[in-house]
Amino acid sequence: MTSRVPLEFATGPDPVATIILIHGLGASGETFRPVAQALDLSAVGAVRFVLPNAPVRSVSVCGGERMPAWYDLLDQNFVAREDEAGLKEAAAYFTQLIDQEIERGMVPERIVIGGFSQGGAMSLMTGLRYSCPLAGIADLSGYLPLAPATGRERTAASRATPIFMGHGTRDGIVPLALADAARRHLAGWGYDITWRTYPMDHTIIEAEIRDLNIWLSDVLKPTTL
Q: Do 173 and 74 meet the contact criterion of CB atoms below 8 Å apart?
A: no
Check 117, 123, 141, 158 and give the catalytic one.
117
Sign of the alpha-carbon torsion through 54, 55, 57, 63? positive
58 as an active site residue: the answer is: no
Which of 3, 202, 211, 217 is flagged as catalytic?
A: 202
Q: Which of 72, 83, 139, 171 is catalytic?
A: 171
Q: Is 72 a catalytic residue?
A: no
| Contact present, 91 and 70 (Cβ < 8 Å) | no
CB 102 within 8 A of CB 108: yes
Count CB atoms within 10 A of the CB of residue 223. Answer: 7
How far from 49 is each of 10, 32, 38, 99, 106, CA to CA, in Å?
6, 10, 12, 15, 12
171 given a catalytic annotation: yes
Give the residue numbers marked as catalytic: 117, 171, 202
